[in-house]
A and B are shown apart, each in its own frame.
Chain A
Amino acid sequence: MPKSARRKQLEALVMAPLNWLEERSGLVGATKYFLFRKVPAETNWFHTLGSATLTAFLVQAVTGVILAMYYKPSPEEAYGSIQHITNDLTLGWLVRGMHRWGASVFIILLFLHMGRVFLFGAYKYPRELNWLIGVILLTMALGEGLTGYLLPWDETAYWATVVAININANAPIVGPFLGDFLRGGAEIGEETLARFYSLHMLVIPGGLFALIGLHLYLVIRLGVTEPPWTRAAAGYEFVEDGRGPTRKGLVEPRPRGNGSIGTPTRTEAEV
């Protein structure tokens, strides 16, 4: 159907700022490349677990920032400020609840995502590095859980942290130093709370953001694996991806999509 004059005018109106941005930054092209890259034909819902985990992390980040506006990390005020958030502030119970339950959702999705990658054999060549980064991300997420657990500053938080820090302090050789580092001294007190607060909302999230960026970069660079039950993954069927030799799935995998920004794809042509 030929485009009407009005539609052309509208399109030009939308495209003008985008073209301005694209000409100066290339960001539109990069976004298109990210969103419309090729994926195997037989992807399924299990492939969404990574994005689900990312979403859970972003929810944690946003709700955490909001909570930080009201939370007071000092021994006298911490517990009271949490009660204030939960009982007095408008929708405070909701934001705190999202952060508190979202933490469990984040960890559960991480493990499901890890299980998917393991069972699909997606950790194999050339994606070993991404598996390693994922393992570091997992430990950092667990670190977020540990440091966040102390912040409500109630009996559960206190005794759980006593036990958790003492477990760290039991490590051979480094234990005594690790315990005192986490406590910020010999006893759990205000230094511990301030320390855990800083780790929980500055140090570990910063590392998480950086490593998630690297994780995604490698996903885009190396592409998505076929599920193991596909003919391509089993090596029966060759996949033509328009460049060079065929890809034989897990039997003889090779890196995909190396630096091919700007390569025209079918989806892009449709846009």
Chain B
Amino acid sequence: MADELERPGGEPVEHEAEPHLPSPTIWPFAFAAGIALLLVGLIINWVLAAVGAAIALVFAFLWIREATREVRRRPVQAAPAEPVSELAAEEEEEEPERYPRSVFLEMSTLGVGALIGGIVTLPALGFMIAPAFVDNQGFDEVDLGPLENFPENQFVIATFFSKTDEGSVGRRTAFIRNNGTQNEVPSFTIISNRCAHLGCPTQPQGLPGTAKKITAANREVSITPVASVSGFQCPCHGGAYDAEGNRTAGPPVRALDRYQYLVRDGDLVLAAPYSVGKVTGEGAKAQIEAYELADPGQHVDGPEQILYPPKFWNSDG
């Protein structure tokens, strides 16, 4: 048993004699059932979710109480051992008196170290996570060429590059329909192809014609007319939309995003995209519930919108 002495920080023997095992308890199962009910409720019904949350909370409390019983009881058991605690109290009192300077030096070393560490670390950390808190949905206007390329009351698929310096990654697609004029102002329906579920590219349900390549303002734009479009569908998870971009089936939580637009020197120009909750009506007379652009899958309307808070800072402002 010579090595007994050499053990660096070995466990005391009493530990080995009496291992601490948690007593049998039913609470984790009830807690898990509550969580399961909560998750099912989130899909089916808010009331069910609330009941599940309540069950989970109650049994989590009971479980924690059960699991910590031994820990919480310990001080009561330790109380009878008076001499030991008195000794400890004396030592605690004497310690700062005996080594005031060394304690001060120790603390100040730790403090200065933490300060230096913080000065070095925090800016680097901020640099890393800053993009997450800045609203930087910057969008360069895209010239799509003369209006003649967009026949009235027919959808065309326009493919263009939102950024010219990143290769194919900047490629975007919009479904554009010329609605004629409303109050003598040209009206367009310009729907983004980004699915409002998880961002896959949706396809128009219709008969595509032949693609035409044009160059407008030094940008290549491909324009493909599509006849009799009944709606849009996503190949990834089966999201389906009608011709105005309203969700008709599948997992998407809102309508398809749209682009703002303007007409400049006879050219159709795309401006920043925005998110859409719902569209009522059709074509030039459509009423669009517009919201700030959100990532796919995020609710922009209804009670769920509180789950997706807006950004703190705006990089434009």
Pairing of A with B: yes
The interface of chain A, by Cβ under 8 A from chain B, is 75-76, 125-126, 158-159, 162-163, 166-167, 169-170, 172-173, 175-181, 183-191, 244-245, 252-255, 258-260, 262-263
Quick one: given A75-B169, A169-B295, A189-B169, are A163 and B163 in contact (CB under 8 Å)?
no
A181 lies within 8 A of B307 (CB): no
Distance A262 CA – B8 CA, assembled complex (angstroms): 12
Q: Output the least CB separation between A228 and chain B (Å).
A: 17
Bound form: Cα–Cα A259–B6 in Å: 8
Q: A166-B297, A181-B132 are in contact. Are A173 and B169 (CB under 8 A)?
A: no
B19 lies within 8 A of A76 (CB): no
Beta-carbon contact of A262 and B199 below 8 Å: no
- Give the residue name and chain of the B residue nearest to A260 (CB): B3
Is A175 a contact of B308 with CB atoms below 8 Å?
A: yes
Question: A162–B10 contact, CB under 8 A?
Answer: no
Report A-chain residues with C-beta under 8 Å of the C-beta of B298: 169-170, 175-176
B140: shortest Cβ distance to chain A, in Å? 12
SS class of chain A's interface: helix, strand, loop or mixed?
loop
Output the least CB separation between B105 and chain A (Å): 31
Complex: A181 Cα to B308 Cα, angstroms: 15
Q: Besides A184-B131, A259-B7, 14 other CB < 8 A contacts?
A: A75-B169, A125-B19, A162-B200, A163-B198, A163-B200, A173-B307, A175-B307, A175-B308, A176-B294, A176-B295, A255-B15, A258-B7, A259-B9, A262-B3
Which residues between 216 and 270 of chain B lie within 8 Å of chain A, taking CB atoms? 236
Complex partner residue of A75 from B16, B167, B297, CB under 8 angstroms = B167
List 26 A-B pairs, Cβ < 8 Å. Answer: A76-B167, A125-B20, A166-B295, A166-B296, A166-B297, A167-B297, A169-B296, A170-B298, A172-B308, A175-B308, A176-B309, A176-B310, A179-B295, A180-B133, A183-B131, A185-B131, A185-B136, A186-B136, A186-B293, A189-B169, A189-B170, A190-B169, A255-B16, A258-B11, A259-B9, A262-B3
Residue in B3, B13, B132, B236 whose beta carbon sits within 8 Å of that of A180 in the complex: B132
1/0 per residue, CB under 8 A from A, across B158-187: the answer is 000011001101100000000000000000
Q: Which of A125, A163, A244, A260 contacts B236 (CB 8 A)?
A: A163
Give the shortest distance, in Å, between B125 (CB) and chain A (any CB): 12
Q: Please give, as numbers and ranges, the residues of chain B lying within 8 Å of A183 by CB-CB distance.
A: 131
- Closest approach, in angstroms, between the C-beta of A188 and any C-beta of chain B? 6
Q: Please tell me if B112 contacts chain A, counting CB pairs below 8 Å.
A: no
Chain B interface residues toward A at CB < 8 A: 3, 6-11, 13, 15-17, 19-21, 129, 131-134, 136-138, 162-163, 166-167, 169-170, 198-201, 236, 293-298, 307-311
Query: Which 4 residue pairs spanning A and B have beta carbons closest together?
Result: A181-B132, A172-B307, A177-B132, A169-B295
| Assembly CA distance A183 to B169 (angstroms) | 13
- Identify which of A126, A163, A176 contacts B199 (C-beta below 8 A): A163
CB pair A189–B166 under 8 Å, yes or no, is yes
Residues of A within 8 A of B137 (CB): 186
| A262 & B6 in contact (Cβ 8 Å cutoff) | yes
Of B133, B163, B167, B310, most buried by chain A (CB within 10 Å of CB) is: B167
What is the minimal beta-carbon distance from A81 to any residue of chain B, in angstroms? 13
Bound Cα distance from A159 to B136, whole angstroms: 22
Q: Return chain B residues, CB-CB under 8 Å to A126.
A: 19
CB distance from B283 to the nearest CB of A (A): 30
- A167's partner among B20, B134, B166, B198 (CB-CB below 8 A) is B198
Contact check, A252 vs B19: say whether CB atoms are below 8 A apart. yes
A232 to B82, CA, bound (A): 42
**Chain B, residue nearest A162 (CB):** B199
* Closest-CB distance, A124 to chain B (whole angstroms): 8
Kindly list chain A residues whose C-beta atoms are within 8 Å of the C-beta of B170. Answer: 189
Whole-angstrom distance from the CB of A82 to the nearest CB of chain B?
14
Chain B residues within an 8 Å CB radius of A173: 307-309
A184 to B129, CA, bound (A): 8
- The residue that A162 contacts in the complex, of B9, B19, B136, B198, with Cβ under 8 A, is B198
Complex CA gap A184/B131 in Å reads: 6
**Whole-angstrom CA separation of A76 from B170 in the bound complex:** 12
Which A residues are in CB contact (< 8 Å) with B3? 260, 262-263
- Is B19 in contact with A175, judged by CB distance below 8 angstroms? no
A176 touches B311 (CB 8 A): yes
B311 contact set on A, CB distance < 8 A: 176, 180
Bound together, the chains give a CA A159 to CA B202 distance in angstroms of 12
Chain A residue with minimal CB distance to B20? A125
Q: Is the CB of A259 within 8 A of B10?
A: yes
Chain A residues near B169 (CB, 8 Å)?
A: 75, 158, 188-190
Q: How far is the CA of A169 from the CA of B197 in the complex (A)?
A: 11
> Complex formed: what's the CA distance from A253 to B311 in Å?
52
Minimum C-beta distance from A69 to chain B (A) = 23
A169 touches B297 (CB 8 A): yes
Q: Are B129 and A159 in contact (CB under 8 A)?
A: no
Bound-state Cα–Cα, A158 to B167, Å? 13
Q: Bound complex: CA of A155 vs CA of B295, how far in Å?
A: 20
- In the complex, the chain A residue whose C-beta lies closest to that of B135 is A186
The docked-state distance in angstroms from the alpha carbon of A190 to that of B164 is 12
* Contact call B166/A190, Cβ cutoff below 8 A: yes
- Contact B295 A255, beta carbon cutoff 8 Å: no
The residues of A that contact B16 with a CB separation of less than 8 Å are 244-245, 254-255
